Amino acid sequence: MLWPINNSKERIHQPNESVMLSRQEVKAIESWISQMGKFQFYKTAGQNMSTARRTLKFKYKIIGHGFNRVVYDLNNGYILKVAFSEVGLISNANEAYIYNNCNEKVKKYLCPVKEYGTGWIIMKKVDTNVPFAIKEYTKLFKLELNFLWCGIIPIDLRLDNVGYNGNDEMVVIDYGLFTMDLKSPVLRWFV
């Protein structure tokens, strides 16, 4: 389920329509999502990612993956995240919802969402070379307090999930497990 984007400052896209992806690419994602359950028997995220890559056959370079999504570089300053699990579907929808509905004070700390559809999301590409240093953990802790202060529970906030924007400010690149609602489907995975 995708939550609607209701922030009038952001362009609202109809589900599964894209300015940045071709219709063929969106159809490939739709096909992948419809078949995704068949591939859930794999035991590792790497196996799920490999199956998604072979099935989607995108021309884009894979620049990473987590347990639930694969990330492609669109070579235009943006990245594409495609789900390969139910949690990945929820995470993509959740990032779109949070980015477009959060308090403006913390929005600058979130990687911008360009567009999204069922099973996919396009976000700004940011520098992910974050050193594992004490000062970075201090920034991360302050970031966590900012989110909490603005009503966002930053589940899974860690250095692996942050990067730096063009102004050399720390931003969260993976906030799919954050929540603004204690009834969120994200929380059912942790309770």
User: Mind listing the pLDDT tens digit for each residue in 23-63?
Assistant: 999 999 998 888 876 655 556 777 877 888 888 999 999 99
Q: Based on the domain organization, do 45 and 120 belong to the same domain?
A: yes
Q: Based on the domain organization, do 95 and 172 belong to the same domain?
A: no
Q: The whole model's pTM is what? A: 0.84
- Least Cα distance to 29 among 47, 55, 49 occurs for 55
How buried is residue 157: exposed, middle or buried, by Cβ count under 10 Å (0-12/13-18/19+)? buried
67, 89, 124: which is the final residue of a domain?
A: 124
Examine residue 65 and state whether it is found in any structural domain, yes or no. Answer: yes
Q: Based on the domain organization, do 49 and 115 belong to the same domain?
A: yes
Q: Based on the domain organization, do 118 and 138 belong to the same domain?
A: no
Q: How far is CA 1 from the centre of its chain?
A: 15
Contact 151, 180 (CB under 8 A): yes
- Region 97-125: mean pLDDT is 95
Structural domain containing residue 171: 134-189
Examine residue 111 and state whether it is found in any structural domain, yes or no. Answer: yes
Q: Provide the domain count of the chain.
A: 2
Q: Based on the domain organization, do 113 and 141 belong to the same domain?
A: no
Q: Based on the domain organization, do 34 and 68 belong to the same domain?
A: yes
In this structure, the dihedral spanned by the alpha carbons of residues 11, 17, 23 and 26, taken in order and rounded to 10 degrees, is: 110
- d(CA 183, CA 22) in angstroms, rounded, equals 35
Q: Based on the domain organization, do 85 and 162 belong to the same domain?
A: no
- Least Cα distance to 125 among 111, 109, 107, 136 occurs for 111
Domain harbouring 158, CATH code: 1.10.510.10
Q: Based on the domain organization, do 172 and 115 belong to the same domain?
A: no
What pLDDT was estimated at residue 65? 87
Q: Based on the domain organization, do 156 and 83 belong to the same domain?
A: no
